[in-house]
Structures are given as structure tokens and as C-alpha cells.
């Protein structure tokens, strides 16, 4: 079975983002970038499927400028077999990304596609589902457990209020939630080995996708600041303030 | 152009997020039709018809929609939605699951998790875990939008919309429901509670959450948790408040033994009043708290319980 994993280069989740003074976007110049945490979980799950003998090849794909190859190398160091870089000038929005991934799916014919449930930059939570619609594959979103057995995959999903299990016929799409697994760290020898693993570059023309966004970003602002609060001395004062000052009790 | 709003429900009752999403939809335009897709869901349709501002309620009542599988619901919504200018749903796990599929089927972008409506095509939404607010404009003919319910007030009762049945049945053979495990709780639902009290790693174990529950019961509050508490196995993950869990905006949010990581703040910083109880006075949670109490939670919680 072949597994395709889509990964995205995003700002490191520990970095506190700053909005540009002209409010055109957030400032990403000289900021540490990393693999999106949900994508790491996706890679980990694919590699575990390979280690357990379910999958025989793990292909990782990323879309964006040349710099995304760093994240593809990371994914290869974590256990991916080969990588595909679809080169675009900037990061496309979810629909375009899904169309590009559809092109990759048609080329590679994977049995399972694993994506993160959302990227921590745009917080969209769309690409996996959109790819599902475009390829007419069933989807198991927000997965906290995945098990593959004879031609289908059973996915336990995190939903509001608890868990739901669905059974999907392969080929299918799974998007990862945080509790699916604990991603491993890349060891130094594996990082070295990853440099020699194959990495192909594709253009959007080859995939026949037009990179065009129908959503315009007009402005990016910092969120409204909360005014500084007060420290209270004890429980009595706290309850008193909540009752009489804030009037929320 | 009219608006199609997809109701969130459990087949028996309308989820409060629907009435809040209706308020957001009303800012985008008139003629709001509500779609209730489910199985034996007439009661939900009746409830939706009573919301003020609803023009019509469409009911797709069929076993095919019994578990609201994205494959079925998305195809139904895309089919019905072709004639609308906006398709709107709450950004719950259900909405997040099927709406992007709807958008892709209609070949339009989706605007996720909006917190404000500037005009019929322009919306505000948080990005980077709520550390920035983007204003975006959609040029698509059909705007597919999910709404962060906590950012809007609930629409009022007093409507009397006509209810009509939708016969379209969409089934798929590629996915099927196997089962579900729902956490049982008698307390109010986290995302709609007026008061939320949450515990973090500082609670030390699951048994100690009893201390929070006692206080919650006195206040009629919902109990939440930080990701640290969930990952440590203290409580189930549907209690998680944060960017990757639930987004809450209650009147009062009490954070107990929670340091206040960015990820957690993204899920609760729009609460009206925030109280932080933490023994580390350097904890980032104090930067957003209206009232901070630097003390050991194991001293504070019993005292608080006694005082209420």
C-alpha cells in the first residue's frame, strides 16, 4: 500500500507572531519556520503504518517556494521514502492546494492520503476535506486512531462531545488530530540519510492547476488587547470582586 | 441573493450554535433558509422555524443523514446551495467536517471561523492561533462560510417560518458510521456555558478535578481543561479548551493551574471576565486575567467552594 502525506512549512509554533506595521500581513522575515505540528503527526502515522507492514511506501509532498524542501527533508528524515515538491511562488490557499494535491494523487495513485487537520498559520482546516471532494474519496477527519484492514480504514474521530468511528473504503483521506500519536525526533544519521533520498520537483503547469486565489487579504491587525487586570489577595476578595465589581456571579 | 444556513443538531434538539450563526448570517443579507439534515429530526425543524429571521426551514429527513457523514451531507448541501449567495454553518466539528467539501464541490474557497461580518463579502477571522485578525474579501459567486458561534449573540425566538421537506437523498458506499462514544455530562455544554472553570497541569491528576467539579456545580458552570491536562490523561479530550480544542467565550472563565500557553489563550481570551488561579506569579495567564490570585489551587478551591 502506498501512503501519500502532505506537509506544510509554517512559522514555528513557539514563535510569537507580529503583525507588520502597514497591516498587510504578519511579519515572517527572519522568523523560524518548521513543519506544521499536525503534519508531523501525519508523517509519524504513515511511518508507523510502514513499520507495521501495512504500508510499503511513504511519499511526502509539499507545496510552496523552494524553501519548503527543508521541511520535505525533515519528513524524509522522519521516515518518508521519497518527496515531491510542487513549486509555487507563494503559499496557495486551501482550494488551490487541494487541486494541486489532486494532481499529485492522480499521478501517484496512493491508497491512503494523510494530512494534518489544520495548519497553525491560516487555521483553515479545509485542505483534506476539499481534496476528498475533488477526488471523490471518503474522509476521516480529526483522527485519533487509524487502523487499516482489507481494503478499508477504520478511523476514530474526535468530535464535539466525544468520539465517532467511521469505516472508509480505500483509497481514503485521513486528517490527523493531536492525539493520534507522538511524533518521533529525527536522528542525526537519519537526517544525513534523508539528504540522499529522492526529491522530485513538479510545476503547477505540469499538474494543470492555475494558482489563483478568489479570497483577497485586505488587512491583518493584532487582536484587541485586554486591559491589564488586578491581583487579588485572597478568595474572599476574589468572590467579592466577581460579585460586586464584575457582576458575573 | 439568499442565504442557506445549515443547522447543527443531534436530531432531537437544535444546538445553540445555530441561533448564533443565524445572527452572523443576518448581517450578510436577507432571506435566510435553514437546512435541517438528519434522521427523525422534525423536532429540530420545529425549533429552527421559531427562530426570528428564518424565512424557510428545509428538512432532509432520511437515514442517509442519520450520522451526518460528510460525504452525504456535503453533496446534499452543494446540490441545494447552488441557488444561494451564501452557505453558512457553525464552525463546530460537524461544520468543519463537511463545509470544505461543499466549497470544493462548488469550486469556491471557504472562509473559516469568522468572528465578524464587515459586509456581505468581507469578514474578519483569527489566524495564527488568534494572534492576528485578518480581514478577507471573497470574490466567489457563492460564499461558503463557517462561523465562530461564540463571537455572535443568539438570534431571538419569535419566528414562524414555513417548513418544507427536501426529497434529495444522497447515499455513498465509501464511508459508513461504525459507532460513537459520547462523554456524558449533566453540566452545561462547554461552548455555550455562561461560566467555565478549567484545570491545567497544576491539577496534578484526574481525581483532583473533583475539586473543580464541586465549584462548577455551585456556579452552574461547565468544566474545561488545558491541553496539558488532557495529554496527561487527567480528563477526556472533549474538555479541551484551545486552538485545537473548543473555543469558548463565556461571561466568566476561571483558569486554575493553567500557565496560559498561546494555544490555550486562543480558545478563551474572548471571555468577558477571566480569573486566573496559579501559584506561579510569572505565569502568562496573568497577562490576560482580569483578576489574578497567586496561590496554591489546593488551598483556594475548597475555600472558593465554601464561599459560594
Mutant choice from B15, B16, B93 vs A, greatest count of A C-beta within 10 A = B93
pLDDT band at A80 (very low <50, low <70, confident <90, very high): very high
- For residue B69, which residues of chain A lie inside 8 Å, CB to CB? 166
Mean pLDDT of all residues in chain B? 95
The reply to whether A36 touches chain B by the CB within 8 Å rule is no
Residue ranges of E strands in A161-237: 162-169, 172-176, 199-203, 215-221, 230-232
Name the residue among A123, A157, A248 with its Cβ closest to that of B126. Answer: A123
Q: Residue by residue, what is the 3-state secondary structure of A203-215? A: EHHHHCCCCCCCE
Mean pLDDT of all residues in chain A? 96
Q: Residue by residue, what is the 3-state secondary structure of chain B? A: CCEEEECCECCCCECHHHHHHHHHHHCCCCCEEEEEEECCCHHHHHHHHCECCEEEEEEEECHHHCCCCHHHHHHHHHHHHCCCCEEEEECCHHHHHHHHHHHHHCCCCEEEEECEEEECCEEEEEECCCCEEEEEEECCCCEEEEECHHHCCCCCECCCCEEEECCCCCCCCCEEEEEEEECCCCCCCHHHCCEEEEECHHHCCCCCHHHHHHHHHHHCCEEEECHHHHHCCCCCHHHEECCCCECCCCCEEEEECCCCCHHHHHHHCCCCEEEEEECCCCCHHHHCCCEEEECCHHHHHHHHHHHC
Is residue A82 predicted with pLDDT exceeding 90? yes
Tally of residues, chain A: 249
Residue B39: what are its φ and ψ, rounded to 5°?
Answer: -125, 130
Q: Could you read off the pLDDT of B151-202 as tens digits, one per residue? A: 999 999 999 999 999 999 999 999 999 999 987 778 888 988 999 999 999 9
Supply the pLDDT for residue B304: 95
Supply the pLDDT for residue B1: 81
Q: Could you read off the pLDDT of A43-59 as tens digits, one per residue? A: 999 999 999 999 999 99
Supply the pLDDT for residue B186: 81
Output B188 or B24, whichever has higher pLDDT: B24
Query: Domains of chain B, with CATH numbers?
Result: 3-165 (3.40.50.620), 190-307 (3.40.50.1220)
Supply the pLDDT for residue B183: 79
Instruction: Please tell me the least confidently modeled range out of B94-98, B134-138, B192-196.
Output: B192-196
Q: Could you read off the pLDDT of A195-242 as tens digits, one per residue? A: 999 999 999 999 999 999 999 999 999 998 887 799 999 999 999 999
- For residue B101, which residues of chain A lie inside 8 Å, CB to CB? 129-130, 132-133, 139
Is residue A248 predicted with pLDDT exceeding 90? no
Name the residue among B99, B127, B219 with its Cβ closest to that of A121. Answer: B127
Q: What is the Cα–Cα distance from B257 to B273, expressed in whole angstroms? A: 17
Q: What is the CATH number of domain A2-244?
A: 3.40.50.620
Q: Could you read off the pLDDT of A149-190 as tens digits, one per residue? A: 989 999 999 998 889 999 999 999 999 998 899 999 999 999
Inter-chain CB proximity A138 and B172 less than 8 Å:
yes
Tell how far CA A126 is from the center of its chain. Answer: 10
Inter-chain CB proximity A215 and B182 less than 8 Å:
no
The reply to whether B186 touches chain A by the CB within 8 Å rule is no
Q: What is the Cα–Cα distance from A116 to A206, expressed in whole angstroms? A: 25
Candidates A52, A45, A43, A101; CA nearest to A75 is A43
Inter-chain CB proximity A218 and B137 less than 8 Å:
yes
Supply the pLDDT for residue A162: 87
Supply the pLDDT for residue A200: 98
Name the residue among A215, A218, A246 with its Cβ closest to that of B290. Answer: A246
Inter-chain CB proximity A235 and B176 less than 8 Å:
no
Prediction pTM value: 0.93
Is residue A16 predicted with pLDDT exceeding 90? no
Is residue B29 predicted with pLDDT exceeding 80? yes
Supply the pLDDT for residue A150: 87
CB atoms within 10 A of CB B23: 20
Supply the pLDDT for residue B191: 86
Supply the pLDDT for residue B222: 96
Q: Could you read off the pLDDT of A20-45 as tens digits, one per residue? A: 999 999 999 999 999 999 999 999 99
Angle at A180 between CA A179 and CA A184, to 5 degrees: 95
Using the Cα atoms of residue B228, residue B231, residue B233 and residue B236 in order, give the sign of their dihedral: positive
Inter-chain CB proximity A215 and B175 less than 8 Å:
no
Is residue A88 predicted with pLDDT exceeding 80? yes
Inter-chain CB proximity B290 and A122 less than 8 Å:
no
Name the residue among A17, A121, A218 with its Cβ closest to that of B136. Answer: A218
Q: Using CA coordinates, name the residue in chain B closest to A123.
A: B127
Q: Could you read off the pLDDT of B206-263 as tens digits, one per residue? A: 999 999 999 999 999 999 999 999 999 999 888 999 988 889 999 999 999 999 998 8
Q: Name the helix (H) or strand (E) containing A60.
A: strand A57-64
Cis omega (within 30 of 0) for bond into A171: yes
Supply the pLDDT for residue A161: 82
Which grid coordinates are listed for B39? 434522521
- For residue B272, which residues of chain A lie inside 8 Å, CB to CB? 248
Report percent pLDDT > 70 for chain A: 100
Amino acid at each position: 500500500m502506498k501512503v501519500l502525506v502532505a506537509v506544510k512549512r509554517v512559522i514555528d509554533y513557539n514563535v510569537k507572531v507580529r503583525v507588520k506595521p502597514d497591516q498587510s500581513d504578519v511579519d515572517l522575515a527572519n522568523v523560524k519556520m518548521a513543519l506544521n505540528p499536525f503534519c508531523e503527526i501525519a508523517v509519524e502515522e504513515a511511518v508507523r503504518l510502514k513499520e507495521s507492514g501495512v504500508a510499503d511506501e511513504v511519499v511526502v509532498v509539499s507545496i510552496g517556494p523552494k524553501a519548503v524542501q527543508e521541511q520535505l527533508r525533515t519528513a524524509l528524515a522522519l521516515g518518508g521514502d521519497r518527496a515531491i515538491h510542487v513549486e509555487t511562488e507563494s503559499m496557495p490557499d486551501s482550494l488551490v492546494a487541494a487541486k494541486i494535491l489532486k494532481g499529485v494523487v492522480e499521478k501517484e495513485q496512493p491508497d491512503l492520503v494523510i494530512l494534518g487537520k489544520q495548519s497553525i498559520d491560516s487555521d483553515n482546516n479545509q485542505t483534506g476535506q476539499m481534496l476528498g471532494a475533488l477526488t471523490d474519496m471518503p474522509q476521516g477527519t480529526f483522527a485519533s486512531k487509524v487502523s487499516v484492514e482489507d481494503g478499508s480504514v477504520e478511523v476514530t474521530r474526535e468530535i464535539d462531545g466525544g468520539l465517532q468511528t467511521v469505516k472508509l473504503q480505500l483509497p481514503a483521506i485521513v486528517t490527523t488530530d493531536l492525539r493520534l500519536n507522538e511524533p518521533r525526533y529525527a536522528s542525526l544519521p537519519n537526517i544525513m540519510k534523508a539528504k540522499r533520498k529522492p526529491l522530485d520537483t513538479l510545476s503547477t503547469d505540469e499538474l494543470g492547476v492555475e494558482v489563483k486565489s478568489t479570497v483577497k487579504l485586505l488587512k491583518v491587525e493584532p487582536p484587541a488587547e485586554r486591559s491589564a487586570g488586578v491581583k487579588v489577595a485572597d478568595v474572599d476578595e476574589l468572590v467579592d470582586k466577581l460579585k460586586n465589581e464584575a457582576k458575573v456571579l | 441573493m439568499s442565504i442557506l444556513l445549515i443547522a447543527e443538531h443531534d436530531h432531537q434538539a437544535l444546538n445553540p450554535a445555530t441561533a448564533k450563526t443565524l445572527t452572523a448570517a443576518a448581517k450578510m443579507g436577507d432571506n435566510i433558509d435553514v437546512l435541517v439534515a438528519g434522521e427523525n429530526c422534525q423536532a429540530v425543524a420545529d425549533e429552527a422555524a421559531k427562530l426570528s429571521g428564518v424565512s424557510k426551514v428545509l428538512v432532509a429527513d432520511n437515514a442517509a443523514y442519520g450520522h451526518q457523514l460528510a460525504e452525504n451531507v456535503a453533496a446534499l448541501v452543494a446540490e441545494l446551495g447552488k441557488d444561494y449567495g451564501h452557505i453558512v454553518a457553525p464552525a463546530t466539528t460537524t461544520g468543519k467536517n463537511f463545509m470544505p467539501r461543499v466549497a470544493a464541490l462548488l469550486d469556491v474557497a471557504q472562509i473559516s471561523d469568522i468572528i465578524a461580518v464587515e459586509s456581505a463579502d468581507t469578514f474578519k477571522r483569527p489566524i495564527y492561533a488568534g494572534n492576528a485578525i485578518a480581514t478577507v474579501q471573497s470574490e466567489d459567486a457563492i460564499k461558503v462560510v463557517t462561523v465562530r458561534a461564540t463571537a455572535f449573540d443568539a438570534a431571538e425566538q419569535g419566528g414562524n417560518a414555513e417548513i418544507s421537506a427536501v426529497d434529495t437523498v444522497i447515499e455513498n458506499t465509501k464511508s459508513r458510521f461504525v459507532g460513537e462514544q459520547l462523554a456524558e455530562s449533566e453540566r452545561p455544554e462547554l461552548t455555550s456555558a455562561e461560566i467555565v472553570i478549567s484545570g491545567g497541569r497544576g491539577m496534578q491528576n484526574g481525581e483532583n478535578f473533583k475539586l473543580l467539579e464541586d465549584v462548577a456545580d455551585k456556579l452552574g458552570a461547565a468544566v474545561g481543561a488545558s491541553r496539558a491536562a488532557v495529554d496527561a490523561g487527567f480528563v477526556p479530550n472533549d474538555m479541551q479548551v484551545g486552538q485545537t480544542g473548543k473555543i469558548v467565550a463565556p461571561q466568566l472563565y476561571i483558569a486554575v493551574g493553567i500557565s496560559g500557553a498561546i494555544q490555550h489563550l486562543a480558545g478563551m481570551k474572548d471571555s468577558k471576565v477571566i480569573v486566573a488561579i496559579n501559584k506561579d506569579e510569572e505565569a502568562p495567564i496573568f497577562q490576560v486575567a482580569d483578576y489574578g490570585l497567586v496561590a496554591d489551587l489546593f488551598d483556594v478551591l475548597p475555600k472558593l467552594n465554601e464561599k459560594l
